């Protein structure tokens, strides 16, 4: 089934004609639970990995011997999904709750030292043939494979993530690794993706407002304030005498540049990064200082209460709390991971930011 983004609530270029010069495209991946093949772009699916090539491992020293079993995490999700599908009002039975308590237990892997090689988790693989906005890889590579360590114990703070991106030429893989290694335990269940097939869709996108020229950004801010005031006045007028009893939560939300007109939520490739959590930060290549381009966004949600206008037409009747997290991946505190690549030389090291 295809996934189709609804038309935007307003024509943003009619409101601000200057934005036409900044218009770009991004490909929404629309990952949904399924059984992807090794020859397909996917999240959490089997990877086209050569049988004679070492699997990526984390070698950075950190505790790695205590955590949850990946199989228990997958089973827990299935039990919960079955329970809520069967009875949305009561959820799991007492027997299922006991099983869930057992599945949520942490386990310890004996004799696993802090420096032992730890298999990374294969998060996604993306073929350029499937995704029109996926940036070119180095030396004609057409397949991007994404891995991460299942523990948040890296970097200067000791609480960061470790990401590993690999490019390859898919035609050169003749024998695929049948059973990839997996970590026995993981430190965070949000690092364990559910297998998902992709339904790519290319849509228009515009830069984060804070990166637009100062005058244009100020006009957008003023327009949003005026629109919000107009919506509030119309809401109060419609309520009449009941207006005093209404709360802010009752008022309709007007369209906003950030959440409705510029950058779509969810997993996607290409386009522009959102900087909604922090101020925009320079993402320059550490090898050649060139400004980097957005390669991939990994999002904890496909949509939420503030970005519901991007919900695909085919899923407009599905509840947000049940259907907006198909991959079960969580980045940070329900944020998104933006990965950047060097446009001058794609083999240069990637950079990333969590928003």
For the beta carbon of residue 70, count every other beta carbon within 10 angstroms. Answer: 18
For 195, the 3-state DSSP assignment is coil
Residues forming a β-bridge with 26: 203
Euclidean distance between the first and final Cα of the chain, in Å? 30
For 36, the 3-state DSSP assignment is coil
Tell me, yes or no, whether 172 lies in a domain. yes
* Domain coverage including residue 65: 12-209+255-354
- Pair 180, 51: CB distance under 8 Å: no
The token pair at 154 is 């890296």
Residues forming a β-bridge with 201: 28
- Model confidence pLDDT, tens digit, residues 288-330: 999 999 999 999 999 988 899 999 999 998 877 667 999 999 9
Tell me, yes or no, whether 132 lies in a domain. yes
Rounded to whole angstroms, how far apart are CA atoms 326 and 29?
Answer: 12
Q: Phi first, then psi: what are they for 331, rounded to 5°?
A: -110, 120
Rounded to whole angstroms, how far apart are CA atoms 210 and 90?
Answer: 45
Tell me, yes or no, whether 83 lies in a domain. yes
Using pLDDT thresholds of 50, 70 and 90, give the confidence band for residue 243.
low
At residue 144, does pLDDT exceed 80?
Answer: yes
CATH number reported for the structural domain that contains residue 337 in this entry: 2.30.320
pLDDT of 270: 98
Rounded to whole angstroms, how far apart are CA atoms 311 and 297?
Answer: 17
Q: Which helix (H) or strand (E) holds 80?
A: helix 70-86
State the chain's mean pLDDT as an integer: 94
pLDDT of 83: 93
Tell me, yes or no, whether 242 lies in a domain. no
Tell me, yes or no, whether 214 lies in a domain. no
- Model confidence pLDDT, tens digit, residues 341-355: 999 999 999 999 999
Rounded to whole angstroms, how far apart are CA atoms 254 and 10?
Answer: 10
327: nearest Cα among 266, 274, 276, 272: 266
Tell me, yes or no, whether 1 lies in a domain. no
Rounded to whole angstroms, how far apart are CA atoms 343 and 137?
Answer: 10
Tell me, yes or no, whether 229 lies in a domain. no
pLDDT of 234: 86
Q: Which helix (H) or strand (E) holds 202?
A: strand 201-205
Q: What's the predicted TM-score (pTM) here?
A: 0.93
Tell me, yes or no, whether 237 lies in a domain. no
Domain count, the chain: 1
Contacts (Cβ under 8 Å, ≥6 apart) of 140: 169
DSSP conformation letters of 284-301:
B-TTT-PBPEEEEEEES-
For 316, the 3-state DSSP assignment is coil
Rounded to whole angstroms, how far apart are CA atoms 208 and 211?
Answer: 6
Burial of 237 (0-12, 13-18, 19+ CB in 10 A): exposed
């Amino acid at each position: 089934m295809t996934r189709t983004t609804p038309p935007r609530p307003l024509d943003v270029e009619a409101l601000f004609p200057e934005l036409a010069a900044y218009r770009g495209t991004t490909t929404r991946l629309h990952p949904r639970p399924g059984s992807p093949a090794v020859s397909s772009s996917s999240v959490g699916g089997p990877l086209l990995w050569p049988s004679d090539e070492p699997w990526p491992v984390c070698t950075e020293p950190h505790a790695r011997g205590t955590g949850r079993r990946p199989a228990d995490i997958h089973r827990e999700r299935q039990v919960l999904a079955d329970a809520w599908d069967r009875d949305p009002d009561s959820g799991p039975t007492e027997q299922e709750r006991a099983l869930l308590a057992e599945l949520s237990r942490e386990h310890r892997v004996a004799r696993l030292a802090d420096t032992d090689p730890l298999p990374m988790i294969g998060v996604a693989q993306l073929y350029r043939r499937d995704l029109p906005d996926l940036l070119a890889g180095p030396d004609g590579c057409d397949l991007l494979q994404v891995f991460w360590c299942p523990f948040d114990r890296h970097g200067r703070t000791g609480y960061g993530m470790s990401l590993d991106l690999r490019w390859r030429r898919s035609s050169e893989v003749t024998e695929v690794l049948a059973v990839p290694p997996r970590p026995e335990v993981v430190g965070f269940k949000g690092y364990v993706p559910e297998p998902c097939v992709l339904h790519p869709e290319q849509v228009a996108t515009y830069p984060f407002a804070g990166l637009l020229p100062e005058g244009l950004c100020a006009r957008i801010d003023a327009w949003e304030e005026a629109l919000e005031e107009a919506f509030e006045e119309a809401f109060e007028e419609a309520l009449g005498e009941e207006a005093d009893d209404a709360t802010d939560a009752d008022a309709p939300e007007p369209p906003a540049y950030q959440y409705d007109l510029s950058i779509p939520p969810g997993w996607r490739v290409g386009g522009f990064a959102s900087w909604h959590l922090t101020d925009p930060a320079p993402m320059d290549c550490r090898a050649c200082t060139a400004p980097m381009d957005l390669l991939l966004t990994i999002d904890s949600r496909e949509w939420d209460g503030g970005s519901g206008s991007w919900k695909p037409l085919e899923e407009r009747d599905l509840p947000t709390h049940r259907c907006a997290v198909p991959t079960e991946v969580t980045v940070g505190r329900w944020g998104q991971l933006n990965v950047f690549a060097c446009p001058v030389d794609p083999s240069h090291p990637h950079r990333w930011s969590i928003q």
